[in-house]
């Protein structure tokens, strides 16, 4: 990961749904390795930022580069964990089936996963602590387990950059610890992990760097420099109740029990 170009670089990115702009002129550059949080109120465009970077929603303007190159050239180096609610968990697939989907990109058209892929999928499941649930239908898992399945699917992508959309939303404490431990390992291995996160109280203790987003980029950089009362006020200005709670959390040093 010694390349000169940053792992993720957004330049002047603007996104609109129909005529309604949801993100304005975002400039953001993040280097590997690291654990980076994208934080902001509901409807601030955090998820949209990830989707725009991945080309899932069209850019109204701006450019996105991964490792200094356009997405199409480096897709194999990028892992993605969508929001859990975006899929139907009643779908007739097993845990292992879903994790194997992480190998499809590398397999290409019409080739089926074989023993090597199955082994990688089992290893990923082991890493998230779900090895014994491989054969279970995905609807018969808890929310936290489902989220870990999604993480395992991204792990088999063996990417250098991971983009995760709210991986800790509605997740039990045990799953949260496990997920966070895996993300921490990914960072230790030299990768960049970008996480859309809604909970400011945990952000300060988990992330190296954060971006505060509220339809535009309010601030980005190391946690200590970004999570200041002024920046938080600018980000959450329209959300006074949240702000109140945050004020108390920040006073306690970002640590809650």
Partner 1 sequence: MSQPAGIPYNTLVVAAAVAAVGFAAGVIGSFGVLRRRALVSDAAAHATLAGVVAAFLATGRRDLPTLLAGAFAAAVLALGGLVVIRRFTRTRDDAATAIVLGVSFGLGIALLAGISARGIPGAGGLEHFLLGHTAALTAGDATALAAAAALAVLIVWLGLKEATLVAFDPAFAAATGWPVALIDYALVTLMAAMVVVGLPAAGAVLVTALVVIPPVTARLWTERVATMVPLAGAIGLVAAVGGVATSNAVPRLPTGPTIVLVAAGVFSLSFFVAPRRGWFARRRAAVDAARALAERLRAAAAGEQTAPDPRGA
Which residues of this chain interact with partner 1, rule CB under 8 A?
A: 51, 54-56, 72, 75, 78, 80, 82, 86-88, 91-94, 97-98, 101-102, 104-105, 107, 109-113, 137, 153, 157
Separation CA 49–CA 85 (nearest Å): 18
CB of 100 vs partner 1, minimal distance in Å: 9
Q: Are 29 and 6 in contact (CB under 8 A)?
A: yes
* Least Cβ distance, residue 29 to partner 1 (angstroms): 21
Least spacing, CB of residue 89 vs partner 1, in Å: 10
To the nearest whole angstrom, how small is the minimum distance from the Cβ of residue 112 to partner 1? 6
Cβ nearer to partner 1, comparing 4 with 110: 110
Which of residues 88 and 241 has its CB atom nearest to partner 1 in the complex?
Answer: 88
Asked if 155 and 183 count as a contact pair (C-beta separation under 8 A), the reply is: no
Phi, psi of 54 (to 5 degrees): -85, 0
Q: Between residues 54 and 243, which has the closer beta carbon with respect to partner 1? A: 54
Beta pairing partners, 195: 37, 164
CB of 254 to partner 1, least distance (A): 28
Question: Residue 75: exposed, middle, or buried by beta-carbon count in 10 A (0-12, 13-18, 19+)?
Answer: middle
Kindly tell me which of 18 and 253 has the beta carbon lying closer to partner 1: 18
Pick from 215, 207, 211, 182: which is nearest to 81 by CA? 182
Two structure tokens written together for 18 = 């129909």
Q: Which two tokens stand for residue 223?
A: 């946690």
Specify the residue, 6 or 105, whose C-beta has the smaller distance to partner 1.
105
**Nearer of residues 30 and 98 to partner 1, judged by Cβ:** 98
CB 80 within 8 A of CB 8: no
Q: How far is the CB of 105 from partner 1 (least distance, A)?
A: 4
Report the residue number, 22 or 203, with the smaller CB distance to partner 1: 22
Whole-angstrom CA distances from 234 to 69, 135, 180, 212, 250 are: 33, 48, 28, 9, 15
User: Residue 120 corresponds to which tokens in the numbers above?
Assistant: 């990688």
Least distance from partner 1 to the Cβ atom of residue 175, Å? 15
User: From CA 100, how far away is CA 205, in angstroms rounded?
Assistant: 33
């Amino acid at each position: 990961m010694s390349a000169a170009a940053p792992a993720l670089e957004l330049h002047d990115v603007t996104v609109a749904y129909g005529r309604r702009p949801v993100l304005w002129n975002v400039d953001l550059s993040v280097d590997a390795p690291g654990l980076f949080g994208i934080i902001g109120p509901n409807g601030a465009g955090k998820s949209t930022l990830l989707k725009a970077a991945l080309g899932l929603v069209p850019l109204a303007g701006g450019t996105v580069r991964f490792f200094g190159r356009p997405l199409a050239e480096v897709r194999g180096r990028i892992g993605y964990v969508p929001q859990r609610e975006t899929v139907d968990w009643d779908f007739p697939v097993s845990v292992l089936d879903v994790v194997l989907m992480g190998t499809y990109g590398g397999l290409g058209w019409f080739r089926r996963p074989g023993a090597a892929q199955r082994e990688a999928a089992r290893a990923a499941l082991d890493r998230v602590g779900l090895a014994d649930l491989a054969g279970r239908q995905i609807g018969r898992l808890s929310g936290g387990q489902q989220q870990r399945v999604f993480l395992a699917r991204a792990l088999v992508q063996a990417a250098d950059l991971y983009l995760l959309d709210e991986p800790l939303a509605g997740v039990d404490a045990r799953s949260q610890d496990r997920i966070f431990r895996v993300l921490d390992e990914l960072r230790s291995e030299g990768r960049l992990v970008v996480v859309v996160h809604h909970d400011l109280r945990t952000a300060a203790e988990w992330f190296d760097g954060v971006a505060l987003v509220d339809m535009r980029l309010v601030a980005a950089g190391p946690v200590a420099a970004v999570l200041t009362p002024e920046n938080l006020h600018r980000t959450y200005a329209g959300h006074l109740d949240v702000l109140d709670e945050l004020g108390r959390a920040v006073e306690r040093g970002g640590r809650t029990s």
